[in-house]
Structure 1
Amino acid sequence: MQNISSAAYADSKPHYELLDGLRGVAALLVLFYHIFEGLSFAAGGTPITVINHGYLAVDFFFILSGFVISYAYDDRWGKTMTTGNFFKRRLIRLHPMIIMGVILGTITFFLQGGVQWDGTKVATSAVMLAMLCAMFFIPAVPGVSYEVRGNGEMFPLNGPSWSLFFEYIGNILYALFIHRLSTKALTVLVGLLGIALAWFTTFNVSGYDMIGVGWTLDTVNFFGGALRMLFPFSMGMLLARHFKPMNVRGAFWICSVILLLLFCVPYIVTGNSPISLNGLFEAICILFIFPVLLWIGASGKTTDNFSSRVCKFLGDISYPLYAVHYPIMYLFYAWLIDHKLYTIAEAWPMALAVYLGNILLAYLCLKLYDEPVRKWLTKKFLNKK
């Protein structure tokens, strides 16, 4: 998120406050999307409604991530930043909440009865292996014993961790390769990746007629997931190198409304065209609209205490919310299936409880676990005396 998490800025550099807030807005929209995904799943795979393109939040997270990582670290390489130090910082920032997500995912899997979606009982040893692998970020190949839900997820105890897996790949590539590129070379790389992404989406290479790929480890999903990360991640870095703020009033609210509207655009039916119209829309969002929103968000400043507090709160909870909400969604999906509820009109009280409960859970995880653990790890591994 922003790297799906908050990037660690240099201590002497100010945060882009509005980007923190927009990251939180995107995380809230992901949560909203997954509620409607549950209704679709319970109904046997009917089209997702209302927030139809909510999965594009992941691509928005990646462009935020590239921007703030480049901003925080580009001018520190060869001075105060080493490769080892960079990796320590990223692990401390990202991995504690990954582990928390795995633990919650294990608990909720057993609360569901320890069975796959088709009702097949899963051995406790397989669940423990899935938990151990997920803690060390070893993805499950479809069909292995520790792919415990039986629907091919890379991380079956906490599905959205797939995007963090690609985030780690992006961080590794940045440290070893991308930060060394000249601005001209980075521009060429971004252009080539943009062409590849446009081809992948508009010609429906995945067969999904959407860019919701990367969550499983088959060939198309790995390739598509890598493209989903690499283009916006490197585009964010390129924008950081060229960024010059412009005067934009109400930037946070403007960008938030645009994100909501984009995510609520109905699924676009292609018909007999060889071009996927839905994929074309998604390509336009990722290649053109998201970079503009990033530039506007980075240019804006909060002008009142309310906006400032909103952006800070949303930025603070954005990564914990993304990292821990889906285990609760598994329980919600199972509840929808058990009660044969397929519309928001039927399930709205529980949906609202799940939505607000996840926000509360994220805040508690942030304050009682993530911040203290990161503080301890930073002191032990980065601030040794």
Structure 2
Amino acid sequence: MAAILVVLHHATLIPQEARFLGYQPLHSFFFPGHMGVEFFFVLSGFIIMHAHADDLGRPERLGGYLWRRISRIFVPYWIVLAVLVPMYLLTGMGTADKRDWSYIAMSAFLVPQTSQPVLGVAWTLTHEVLFYAIFALCILSRRLLPIMMGVWISLILVNQYVWNLPFPGSFLLSLYNVLFILGIGCAWLLRRVTVPRAGLVLALGLAVVVTSWVLELSMQVRWDAQRFLFGASSVLIILGMAELERSGRLRVPSWLVLGGAASYGIYLVHAVVQSLILNATFRTAVGGMVPDWALFAALVVVPVAVGLAFHRVAEKPAIALFRALRPGHLAVWSRPRLLKGSA
């Protein structure tokens, strides 16, 4: 569902370019769908802490942790880049920097830059990799976790409200990084307590989503407040759903399990597919004949379908192959089971 929210956001955002519609379709109603990114950040912090809590303070497990993180993030990402980069190099599509080899190399390894990576949506992955690196230090020493998270969140708040640092400080201390820490807090809490009235907690989280959506559409909430509202709603939704599933009160249909497993693939390919649809539409006479609602539907349905196919055909087998190639000296990795799907 979070992945589809992001697809809806970009189906609203990308068509407003002058070479396409020149405005946002459907009265910009789905623009707040970018809150799916905030949910993903909180969820990522939750999953990593839940999956690797027993690895904290055990340096011998660092190799397995890094191997799984690299396979989960980089392998599908590199497959998409293997298609996208030749398109830029051979067709002249995109801006000139997308054909600069140093820029391409930094994008491939998710090195933070002042501009977006070659694959635009990968800006979120640079934050993800930063979080993985910091969590890796906590695997080396368990006592570092509360210290590092406390210091990190304090510096982020100082940077946001007292002293704004230029890049790379603005990246290291971005307010987005707070969301990972909130996710860690969710996992820590669920390991220690039972969430009371989990259904009510989930309903409250969804109510905050609706409220935040309305406030953003009416432009009644600042950028920083949006991050906190979306972060709070994500925390409530994750706590409520995890407790409902753990207690056996939530059964996830198989088609939603598949959608969840494919969510990263959908996220990686959707904007590229949307751009291709828009270019194909507006470089021909078809552009002026397609109603906004039909174009918007195509910009949602087709990328999701391509993302599902990408997951089945490329992402899933490539990750399995990469993990099978793990060097023998890496420690055997294990994790408790709470939620269905892949971490």
Correspondence 1:323 to 2:268: yes
When residues 75 and 358 of structure 1 are mapped into structure 2, their CA distance, relative to the original with a 3 A threshold, is same
Structure 2 residue aligned with 1:232: 179
When residues 347 and 286 of structure 1 are mapped into structure 2, their CA distance, relative to the original with a 3 A threshold, is closer
Structure 2 residue aligned with 1:363: 308
Aligned mates of 1:55, 1:163 — CA distance in 2: 12
Superposed CA deviations along residues 128-176 of structure 1, whole A, max 9, x for unmatched, are 66555433334565xxxxxxxxxxx4213x1011111111111001111
Structure 1 residue aligned with 2:325: 380
Structure 1 residue aligned with 2:132: 171
1:359 positional shift: 1.6
Matches within 5 A, 1:170-209: 170-177=131-138, 180-181=142-143, 185=147, 188-189=150-151, 192=154, 195-196=157-158, 199=161
SS in 2 for 1:160: helix
When residues 363 and 289 of structure 1 are mapped into structure 2, their CA distance, relative to the original with a 3 A threshold, is closer
Q: Contact 1:160/1:326 (CA < 8 Å) preserved in 2?
A: yes
- 2:257 partner amino acid: K
From 75, 83, 107, the counterpart of 1:134: 107
Aligned mates of 1:186, 1:264 — CA distance in 2: 35
- 2:270 partner amino acid: H
Which has more helix, going by share of residues?
2
From 188, 192, 198, the counterpart of 1:248: 198
From 239, 261, 264, the counterpart of 1:295: 239
From 62, 67, 80, the counterpart of 1:101: 80
Superposed CA deviations along residues 292-322 of structure 1, whole A, max 9, x for unmatched, are 22222222226475x3324312211111111
From 51, 54, 63, the counterpart of 2:42: 63
Q: Contact 1:167/1:229 (CA < 8 Å) preserved in 2?
A: no
May I ask how many residue pairs the two structures share in their alignment? 320
- 1:346 partner amino acid: P
Aligned mates of 1:335, 1:257 — CA distance in 2: 39
When residues 132 and 380 of structure 1 are mapped into structure 2, their CA distance, relative to the original with a 3 A threshold, is same
1:197 positional shift: 7.3
- 2:154 partner amino acid: L
When residues 251 and 384 of structure 1 are mapped into structure 2, their CA distance, relative to the original with a 3 A threshold, is farther
SS in 2 for 1:180: coil
Aligned mates of 2:227, 2:313 — CA distance in 1: 39
Aligned mates of 2:60, 2:205 — CA distance in 1: 33
1:372 positional shift: 1.3
1:282 positional shift: 0.6
Superposed CA deviations along residues 98-148 of structure 1, whole A, max 9, x for unmatched, are 11221332355479x42446xxxx599x3666555433334565xxxxxxx
1:255 positional shift: 5.1
Aligned mates of 1:320, 1:186 — CA distance in 2: 31
Q: Contact 1:108/1:330 (CA < 8 Å) preserved in 2?
A: no
- 1:33 partner amino acid: H
From 98, 103, 116, the counterpart of 1:154: 116
Q: Contact 1:102/1:131 (CA < 8 Å) preserved in 2?
A: no
Structure 1 stretches lacking a partner, 5+ long: 1-24, 142-152, 207-218, 271-276
- 2:194 partner amino acid: P
SS in 2 for 1:72: helix
Q: Contact 2:75/2:315 (CA < 8 Å) preserved in 1?
A: yes
Aligned mates of 2:34, 2:169 — CA distance in 1: 16
TM-score (norm 1): 0.68
1:90 positional shift: 0.4
- 1:174 partner amino acid: F
Correspondence 1:114 to 2:92: yes
- 1:136 partner amino acid: F
Aligned mates of 2:174, 2:287 — CA distance in 1: 33
Aligned mates of 2:106, 2:35 — CA distance in 1: 27
Q: Contact 1:155/1:162 (CA < 8 Å) preserved in 2?
A: yes
Structure 1 residue aligned with 2:229: 285
Structure 1 residue aligned with 2:340: none
When residues 176 and 263 of structure 1 are mapped into structure 2, their CA distance, relative to the original with a 3 A threshold, is same
Q: Contact 1:245/1:299 (CA < 8 Å) preserved in 2?
A: yes
Aligned mates of 1:63, 1:123 — CA distance in 2: 32
1:234 positional shift: 1.6
Q: Contact 1:88/1:381 (CA < 8 Å) preserved in 2?
A: yes
Superposed CA deviations along residues 188-240 of structure 1, whole A, max 9, x for unmatched, are 3475256347638xx9x79xxxxxxxxxxxx4686157424421112211232
Q: Contact 2:62/2:136 (CA < 8 Å) preserved in 1?
A: yes
Structure 2 stretches lacking a partner, 5+ long: 331-343
TM-score (norm 2): 0.75
From 47, 71, 78, the counterpart of 1:92: 71
Q: CA RMSD in A?
A: 4.0
Aligned mates of 2:310, 2:50 — CA distance in 1: 27
Superposed CA deviations along residues 326-360 of structure 1, whole A, max 9, x for unmatched, are 211222443566479999x8333233223222122
Aligned mates of 1:116, 1:384 — CA distance in 2: 43
